[in-house]
Amino acid sequence: MDWGMRNRMARIIKPSTGRTVMLAVDHGYFLGPTTGLENVGRAVKDLLPYADALALTRGILRHDINPHIDTPIILRISGGTSILSEELLNEGITTSMKEAIRLNVSGVAFSITVGAKWERNTILGLSQVVDEAEEHGIPTLAVIAVGKDMVRDARYLSLAGRIAAEHGARIVKTYYCEPGFDKVIDTCPVPVVIAGGKKIPEKEALEMAYKALQAGAVGVDMGRNIFQSEHPVAMIKAIKEVVHNNATAKEAYEFFESESKEKKVKA
Ligand code: R5P
């Protein structure tokens, strides 16, 4: 691996633990101003010090994020459909590699929809992105997007994750599943991170992160379960405890509770 690629990978996945907490705030590219991200700048301001990487689109990066930050950026470069479309997730390339370089990103993210009638477009799109990104030493994170008709089980997620890695993704983002998440990890030759999915109680989200890491995931690329929490800073800090400090789910939840209480007392 060339120096530039190794350096960017090391900025995303921390060499000290081999793990990462990515904060995902890219939802607006198909959901618009989703709950918690009405104003992304405000939503991430207090979270940034705890995020190992920040995942978002170029528009929000330019408008809402201070260029003086040292947080590595994973730039979402797929899209083209909205939540209103019947073809949601029929995504193409929305941002050029030249633009990604201009924005000094550490990685680019592209979704594939395995099993959808447009899977070919998304897989070929991923290949094109990988070709261009590799030329510049930029890692591609493949997002396993799961269409409405697909089941988020180990069989599907291993299939999709493996296809993403075979096409050159350096990191794969998938959902957690039970049973069989260890199979998803075992059959994917590149590091895997989990998305958080819809907001669930903090205790459950911490348990999910814990179990994913136990199965071999290198971290999370989590959004709603952080920014939609009543205590987003306490939540990202608790996630960090699981990811970087090997906290159990129980320890992390106790940490979350004490951090949120402390916040209430201060307020
Ligand atoms: C979809 O909008 C993106 O891929 C998100 O970055 C991903 O789903 C992670 O966010 P969340 O934890 O909210 O699912």
Please give the domain boundaries of the chain with CATH numbers for all domains.
3-229 (3.20.20.70)
Interval between CA 25 and ligand 1 midpoint (Å): 7
Residues with pLDDT less than 50, the chain = none
The finding on whether 170 has its CB within 6 A of some atom of ligand 1 is: no
Helical ranges in 37-171 per DSSP H = 40-45, 58-64, 97-102, 119-135, 154-166
The finding on whether 143 has its CB within 6 A of some atom of ligand 1 is: yes
The finding on whether 221 has its CB within 6 A of some atom of ligand 1 is: yes
CA-to-CA dists, residue 174 to 84, 155, 196, 201, 224, angstroms: 23, 12, 9, 20, 15
Q: What is the pTM of this model?
A: 0.96
Interval between CA 193 and ligand 1 midpoint (Å): 11
Q: Residue 262: what pLDDT? A: 75
Atom of ligand 1 at shortest distance to CA of 199? 13
Q: Residue 267: what pLDDT? A: 60
The finding on whether 56 has its CB within 6 A of some atom of ligand 1 is: no
- Ligand 1: residue of 22, 26, 44, 56 to mutate (most ligand atoms within 8 A of CB) is 26
Phi–psi pair at 132, nearest 5 degrees: -75, -40
Interval between CA 219 and ligand 1 midpoint (Å): 14
Residues 6+ apart with CB under 8 A from 44: 23, 25, 51, 54, 64, 65, 227
Residue whose CA is at the smallest distance from ligand 1 atom 10:
223
Q: Residue 87: what pLDDT? A: 84
Interval between CA 157 and ligand 1 midpoint (Å): 16
Q: Residue 150: what pLDDT? A: 80
The finding on whether 36 has its CB within 6 A of some atom of ligand 1 is: no
**79-123 pLDDT per residue, tens:** 999 999 888 889 999 999 999 999 999 999 999 999 999 999 999
Interval between CA 262 and ligand 1 midpoint (Å): 28
The finding on whether 224 has its CB within 6 A of some atom of ligand 1 is: yes
Q: What does DSSP assign to residue 137? A: T
The rounded distance, in Å, linking the Cα atoms of 187 and 146 is 18
The rounded distance, in Å, linking the Cα atoms of 210 and 249 is 6
The finding on whether 197 has its CB within 6 A of some atom of ligand 1 is: yes
